[in-house]
Structure 1
């Protein structure tokens, strides 16, 4: 395999790495809530039923913002069901995931959990079966200080101070025919604009996310964004994007190049948003809230739904992630960082059990899945300014995306500390030597080379019995000589190269 080349220069600035890029997602789906973040009676649970082992792992993961309560779930959700005395809350049918929702865990419990986890809450309002009034009621309950019916109700429920939620999603995936209350782009755009305008009358400090396409492959993609934004552009701050990559077809070469598709998706949404902005004579540039993304064995979902009746918190799409999946997740994070100038929020879906980096057993332990590690390390070390990188090197052929680069990279430079983090994925099945030119940042020495590699055991997973099978490992630290360094990127691997100022 020929050497790859990469030049790092602080002049090639993209934007600061927004901490909101390292978001996650808690939906009332499967065991994400019940048996995930919340399980009264569990050995680790606190007096409120919050699993402390999951809280500890959430903090270790480095999550910054968490979207709640859905997802498809929100499109028929009544937020009032989840406040007040737990014994008085109604049991409802959840149409999205064919379950019975007990409402034992709701808005107030989530806000308590978010505070304990040290994450920013991101709330979604129901624009499927509800509308402007219900969104305003929810906002009044969460953010108004007091002296009104709903803000005083929050205080009666034990939250004297307002929750101060700053991020709000105007519905979820309203382009999808599977969504309860599915609408056309014009129907949704008008409703979203009216809701946004009214919500900002109550609290003009909030930021709002309009629903974009639930996938680049949707037949309405781009036309949906254009129509929705013509209604909402002046009222919202973000347009959403969702994507999942399914390994089920066995096409590993294409799976490893999934970031090529995500990159194109972002570029096309930005182009569409900028077109509408130009058409409306708007100087402000909208950002993207990539508030659902992950690897997901989606082909398994329907059988999970079909084989059972209406039950509480079933085990649903609890995918066991492989070493290859970890490399893909690391590459998707590289893509999000590379577009830091236009990605303002991103949420990996979901946090616990449901297509998640954290797995648990009811009454038992919690453990880290393989995909936990690239997320945690990226969140920890991607601090500062994202630098544009243009690696050169070998390519390989994929069935889905044609000829793609074997190497994908991004760099983040912390100007305060002088530290540099280079994130690199080798998608190929061979080791790739990488030559780094660091002369634009003189005086650096290499601190560490950490990898999550799948080359020798691509199907390895972490399980309750063997929770450390796929973990990061440190390789030989490269030497920086004359502003240059060389490293060997293992086959099918995600890599973190850290450089610090020499003493």
Structure 2
């Protein structure tokens, strides 16, 4: 059985005010924060990890209405916090979804019980000879040493580690501060015999890419 998700996203569902009829009124224009981007990244991991059954998962409106991109009349645009995990998975979450085997501690969630501290998804793009690891660190206090066993892929070479995090979970990108929430590059610590160690910061979304080319 195949499953299809239509118009998914983080949505606060604020009570709407009724206005007289007009063309394209400014409604449902949620402004997203870093914490929304982390939730968004976790949702992306779930979708990727169920790609054998989830054949289509359409993000809700892309511009202005519950959007990753916000605009104003006159031409300026802002990339919202949720834009970054969406962009990364759209561009690099391609090919085959691999099944990650993750060993980590857990935490107790209010609604769903015990959950892993690290949520992750992995894709293998055979055509471009790359593996991409997406990882969400849910730990509120500690950075985590994230050890990746790549011995199944000979000659795996780290390309980059991109992280989305920050000291303020409720930071938002606005026209006045368009880069308050943005990604940064982090050094990959080691690569010994197919065992790669990276540090994923507390409460962060991470994309770690590897080349598997023998050239």
Alignment TM-score > 0.5, same fold:
yes
* Structure 1 counterpart of 2:46: 335
Asked if 2 retains the 8 angstrom alpha-carbon contact of 1:329 and 1:374, the reply is yes
Cα distance, 1:418 vs. partner? 2.3
- The partner residue of 1:451 within 163, 170, 182 is 163
Kindly provide the CA deviation profile for residues 264-299 of structure 1, in whole angstroms up to 9, marking residues without a partner as x: xxxxxxxxxxxxxxxxxxxxxx4222112110111x
- Aligned residue for 2:168, secondary structure, equals coil
Q: Residues of 2 paired with 1:347 and 1:385: CA distance?
A: 19
Match of 2:129 among 418, 421, 427: 418
Tell me how far 1:484 sits from its aligned partner. 0.3
Q: How far is the alpha carbon of 1:352 from its aligned partner?
A: 0.7
Which of residues 482, 485, 496 in structure 1 aligns to 2:193?
482
1:144 match: none
- Distance in 2, matches of 1:409 and 1:287, equals 22
The separation in 2 between residues aligned to 1:459 and 1:414, in whole angstroms, is: 34
> Does structure 1 conserve the Cα–Cα contact (< 8 Å) formed by 2:188 and 2:197?
no
**Structure 1 unmatched ranges of 5 or more:** 1-285
Which residue in 1 is equivalent to 2:8?
293
Deviation at 1:400, TM superposition (A): 1.3
The CA deviation at 1:444 is: 0.5
1:370 aligned counterpart, secondary structure: coil
* Paired residues for 1:215-294 under 5 Å: 286-294=1-9
Is structure 2 residue 208 aligned with structure 1 residue 497?
A: yes
Counterpart residue number, 1:199: none
Alpha-carbon separation, structure 1, partners of 2:29 and 2:139: 28
Query: 1:362 and 2:73 equivalent?
Result: yes
Aligned match of 2:96: 385
Q: Assess if the C-alpha contact under 8 Å between 2:40 and 2:85 holds in 1.
A: yes
TM-score by length of 1: 0.41
User: Secondary structure of 2:128's partner?
Assistant: coil
Output the TM-score relative to the length of structure 2: 0.93
Q: 1:140-179: per-residue Cα shift (whole Å, max 9, x none)?
A: xxxxxxxxxxxxxxxxxxxxxxxxxxxxxxxxxxxxxxxx
Return the alpha-carbon distance in structure 1 between the equivalents of residues 76 and 126 of structure 2: 40
The question of whether the paired residues in 2 share the 8 Å contact of 1:406 and 1:427 is answered with yes
What is the CA-CA distance between 1:390 and the residue it aligns to? 2.2
- Distance in structure 2 (CA, Å) of the matches to 1:484 and 1:322: 34
Q: Distance in 2 between matches of 1:370 and 1:440?
A: 34
Q: Which has the higher helix share?
A: 1
1:440 aligns with 2:155: no
Pairs within 5 Å for 1:133-172: none
Secondary structure, aligned partner of 2:44: helix
SS in 2 for 1:480: strand
**How much does 1:350 deviate?**
1.3
Structure 1 segment 1-80 matched on structure 2, within 5 A: none
Query: Residue 311 of structure 1: CA displacement?
Result: 3.2
C-alpha displacement at 1:349, in angstroms?
0.9
1:477, CA displacement in angstroms?
2.2
User: In structure 1, what is the Cα distance between the partners aligned to 2:48 and 2:78?
Assistant: 27
Output aligned runs, 1:179-218, within 5 Å: none
Choose the corresponding residue for 1:305, options 14, 17, 21: 17
Q: Do 1:446 and 1:479's aligned partners in 2 also have CA atoms closer than 8 Å?
A: no
Greater share of strand residues, 1 or 2?
A: 2
After TM superposition, give the deviation of residue 329 of structure 1 in Å. 1.0
In the alignment, what sits opposite 1:348?
A: 59
Q: Check the 8 A contact 1:413/1:419 in 2, yes or no.
A: yes
SS at match of 1:305: coil
CA displacement, residues 53-105 of structure 1 (integer Å, 9 cap, x when unaligned): xxxxxxxxxxxxxxxxxxxxxxxxxxxxxxxxxxxxxxxxxxxxxxxxxxxxx
